[in-house]
Structures are given as C-alpha cells and as structure tokens.
Structure 1
Amino acid sequence: MNKNSNSGPASGPRGFWPILLIFAAMALFFLWQEHRAHLLGALPYLIILLCPLMHLFMHRGHGGRGGGDDHHHKGD
C-alpha cells in the first residue's frame, strides 16, 4: 500500500479551513442583510463615541506636548 496516497474526502485539517471560511462568509452575508439598518443607524453615534479615543491617541494622553511648540523654532 502506498503511504503517500490521500484517502478520505477532506484529508485532515487542510480540508477544514476552506469549509470554515465558506460558512463564515455566508454567516457574515446573512448577518449583514438582516442587521444592516441597525448597524448603519448606529454609525453616527459610533463616530461621536470615537472622538474621545482619537483625542487620547492623537495627543498621547493629556499633557503629551510638554509645554510648547519648541520643535518648530530650532532653526532660529
């Protein structure tokens, strides 16, 4: 008997991932179709809720600048 022959339809864990991806894509499609109005209706509120997070990450917390704009006047 040949050891290298693949017997079985899925031949181990390799056949599992494509099937899982297909089912995940189908689930995401149907979730999007059924809940699109809810998700898009909440979008303005989510954008407003992102403002504090953007403030913290863009300024690296409160007091992140350290006092002034000294880095702009180094050539003077």
Structure 2
Amino acid sequence: LQPLPDLLLIEGNKALAVPKIEVHRPSLGRPLLAADDPCIMAVATDSVLDIPGVQLDLNTPSAIARFIRQWIKKED
C-alpha cells in the first residue's frame, strides 16, 4: 500500500464535502459560496469582503501556502 497524500488540490467539485478554500473575485459578479458552505474554511480574494472568517489575499500565494501548511499541521 502506498501512503495517502497530505494534500490534494482539486478545482471545481463545489458540492464535495471536504475542507475548501474559495477563490472569489467580486469583480466577476458571481455569488460568494462561503456563507452557505460550512466546508469552506477560508476565502482567497482580491478584495476586502465584509464576511466573518478567514480571508486570504489572492495576490499573495505565500500567505495562502502558509495557511494551508498550518491547517495540515493541525490535522496531524
């Protein structure tokens, strides 16, 4: 048996019940999903949103990576 990965990145599959980071660009005019999806643990955005919870700067990939690393450490 091969060991399972610590992290699997998937695009799409919004209905899948797994921990997620939503990528949200308000300028595209699409609705924010985080309010209705308890699996969304953070929102990566290029704007400041008036929502509770973790917001990550979409233009700072290192901050997103740091958040993911911290989350993986908590799950161990």
* TM-score using structure 1 length: 0.22
Q: Which has the higher contact order (CA 8 A, sep 6+)?
A: 2
Whichever structure has more helix as a proportion of its residues is 1
Larger Rg, first or second structure (1 or 2): 1
Structure richer in strand, relative to its length: 2
